[in-house]
Structure 1
Amino acid sequence: MRLSLLKPVINRPGPWASVYAAAPPSTEDGAKQQELTASATMAQLFALGADEATCGAVHEALLMPQEGSRGAHAGRVLFAAHGEIVLDTPLPGPPATPFAAWGPVPRVTPLLAAIGDDPVCLVVRLDRAGADFALVGERGTGSTGRHSRTASPLPRTAEGDPSGRHFRTKAENTWEHNAGEIADAVREAFEKSGAEAVVLVGEARERHLVHEKLPEPLRALTYESSHGGRAPGAESALVDRDIAQVRAVQEREHIARVADRFRTGAGPGNERAPHAAAGIPALIEAAREHRIDTLLVSPHGSDIARQVWVGSDADQLAVRGTELSYLGEEHPAVARADDALVRSAAATGADVVVVRDPDRAPTGGLGAILRGTVDAGPE
């Protein structure tokens, strides 16, 4: 899971207001319901101990429509501290249970569970003249460039005219060359983008030829959509469906690989060693030493809501508050184990994977694949 979305809140001091809200319905009384929700949320935060400035900032933000919301089918999450909205981001749907929380660390785990692994897919819309590239994933879609070559025209000739066969052969040779160049451009764009899969969109013959010219490792990660094309207006909802299916496959396979590595104790690179940790004490020790490579979180595990002690820094975690006092933290506070560990993992450049399948999830809902050596963390 790409944690760049959490950067604004990870290393910023709290306490934090975390609000998960459904977008107001697009009905006549929608504005009234929005106002009631904003007021009730502000009152709830104030009752939990939030300062007046932060309560006011949340109230004002909830009264404003969020860009890109989809009426009753959308949700949003806000994180606020010290009178400022630090992050206001859409959810793919309304939260299962809207809530507001106030605590020393932001309640980020429900957000990660909602957005999922969010794999990045390189979408290539191609024809005989070239290709357009776009990335889908990591909370959005964006163009990454264009590769164009002008193919030789195929003139009209009388049926059976030998010159017609010559021109067709020349055009096919040109397309063979263009397909090779497009394949090279796809490989380069894939390597630069960090994408996890490729979807080719265009005419069947052109898709197949580019697919065949890709290097073998990339061919295995490349899929074809039989809908849509490169021309303006050729976009189709069926293309979006195909892309969504490819990304869902990538997400399932990634989670399965991580869960298998955790279960077998394999470390980064799949080397065998005691590279897995489970249980709150072991996970906290690994987080303090910056040894978590990948944190596994199950939304329904029994350990995720256990109380742990945290300090102002992301690597200040402890089972008991006295441990942090010994480490120089004057004001240790209680937080949920899942959020404290996610904050620490994100701050040290680790990955986080949400495992929904209870058969694959760690016992208690929390586990980690560890780095081989102690890491001082990113500079």
Structure 2
Amino acid sequence: MDLAFLTPLYDRPGPWASVYVDTSRYCGSTAEDQSLEALGVQRALAAAGADEATCHAARMAVDELRHAREPVGRAFFAAAGEVVLDPPLSAPPPGTSAHWAPVPHTAPLLDLAADNPVCLVAYLDRRGADFEVRSSLGESAAGTVSVRRAGSDGPPAQDAWGTWDRWGTWEREAGEIVRALVVRQAEIRADLVVLVGDEPECAVVRDRLPGVLDGRVVRARHGAGSRLLDAELERIRTGHAALRAARGEELFASARGQDDAAVEGVPALVEAAREHRIAELLVRPGGPDAHREVWVGDAPDQVAVRRGDAAALGVAEPVPARADDALLRCAAASGASALSVTSAGPSGGLGALLRRSAG
């Protein structure tokens, strides 16, 4: 999972209210039931020590879901009386829950929102490419690239038979499509690139994409002129998520024991996080290390195993936090990604693949 969408949570200090709402049950409940659920969230936060303004903001956000179409669920993260982030969920949480802690409780998102990545769709044909962004927030156009003969402002040339020489031109000018696709992928930080078109065009583009996109490019089943349907996109997303998790576990297994390639266990992870060496954080839900207590300050990289160590980092008043949430905060701030893995992952439930050193 690309953690960039969590950035607003780490631009301000806590403590934070983290609320997960299961709306999959709403179809069989009354408006009164839903209002009582919102009231329950407010009371739970208040009992945990949350300030009145934040309790009220969380209650109002949950109550507003009565008027929204959320078939699965929604998460809310609030601080200082304001809901800062409210990502939709792609899988229902195990009931509605409310947490109050110094660091946002974001770890559940790895499972509840991980299979709904931002997708850059490229519709390819002999004329060029149309780009579209598809995400949980909807879809939007993302530009067009037209293929023209190099050095010419006119349309592709015609041969002696009056036939457009589109294929020869397309092959020569496909580099422009690739460059535009790479730029758009970086701009929107797309998790997945979906190519829609006939195999020859898709193969030319796929073969010219940079290695940084390896494992992120998929071709849809249908050819040129086809619209990417939601059902097809969901199939692609699900398959991509499964492959990515398996690949992450394989990479971790092969790198295990190499201190410059992978680490596991809270002490080693905390050190790597402070040094911004984490490339991808691996989290196994329910692992014992996820619940371990670490000490944090306001800055994402102010994290330590012991309170005294946090004070040595310049933290005036260290506060305890869950290891998984603190490490996710640090990973997001340093541009790392995160992945939910199975029992085949790190033994304690937390591990990381490390960035390669410049040397």
Q: TM-score, normalised to structure 1's length?
A: 0.78
Distance 2:306 2:36 in 1: 40
* 2:311 counterpart of 1:316: no
**Alignment counterpart, residue 354 of structure 2, candidates 364, 367, 370:** 370
Q: Report the alpha carbon displacement of residue 119 of structure 1 after superposing the two structures with TM.
A: 4.8
1:340 maps to 2:326: yes
8 Å Cα contact 1:309/1:332 also seen in 2? yes
Matched, 1:106 2:104: yes
Shift of 1:70: 3.5
Q: Aligned to 1:358, which of 332, 343, 351?
A: 343
Larger Rg: 1 or 2? 1
Cα deviation, residue 307, structure 1: 1.6
Q: What CA distance in whole angstroms lies between the structure 2 residues aligned with 1:57 and 1:95?
A: 21
Give runs of aligned pairs for residues 64-83 of structure 1, distance below 5 A.
Answer: 64-65=64-65, 69-71=68-70, 73-83=71-81
Is the aligned partner of 1:145 residue 2:143?
yes
Residues 77 and 86, structure 2, Cα contact 8 Å, conserved in 1: yes
Cα separation, 2, equivalents of 1:291 and 1:28 = 48
Are 1:214 and 2:205 counterparts? yes
1:132 aligned counterpart, secondary structure? strand
Match of 2:89 among 88, 91, 96: 91
| Letter matched to residue 11 of structure 2 | N
Deviations 1:121-143 (A, max 9, x none): 43233455443211335865432
* Residue segments in structure 2 that go unaligned for 5+ positions in a row: 148-153
1:55 alignment partner, SS class: helix
Q: Report the Cα distance in structure 1 between the residues aligned to 2:313 and 2:125, rounded to whole angstroms.
A: 62
The corresponding residue for 1:176 is 167
Task: Give the SS at the match of 2:290.
Answer: coil
1:10 CA drift (Å): 1.7
Match of 2:222 in 1: 226
Alignment partner of 1:242 is 2:232: yes
2:151 is aligned to: none
Q: Percent identity?
A: 40
Partner of 2:246: 256
Q: 1-side partners of 2:6 and 2:97: how far apart?
A: 19
- Cα distance in 2 for partners of 1:176, 1:372 equals 41
Task: Report the secondary structure of 2:123's partner residue.
Answer: strand
- CA distance in 2 between partners of 1:131 and 1:250 (Å): 23
Q: Structure 1 residues 224, 235: closer, same or farther in 2, change over 3 A?
A: closer
User: CA 1:285–1:124 in 2, change beyond 3 Å: closer, same or farther?
Assistant: closer
**1:154-195 CA distances to partner (integer Å, 9 max, x unpaired)?**
9xxxxxxxxxx975xx33x43324643774443123321245
2: CA distance between counterparts of 1:326 and 1:247? 44
CA-to-partner distance for each residue in 1:350-372, whole Å, 9 max, x for gaps? 222221x222x111110122335
Shift of 1:235: 3.6
Which residue identity lines up with residue 99 of structure 1 in the other structure?
S
**Match of residue 116 from structure 1:** 114
CA contact (8 A) 2:124 2:202 kept: no
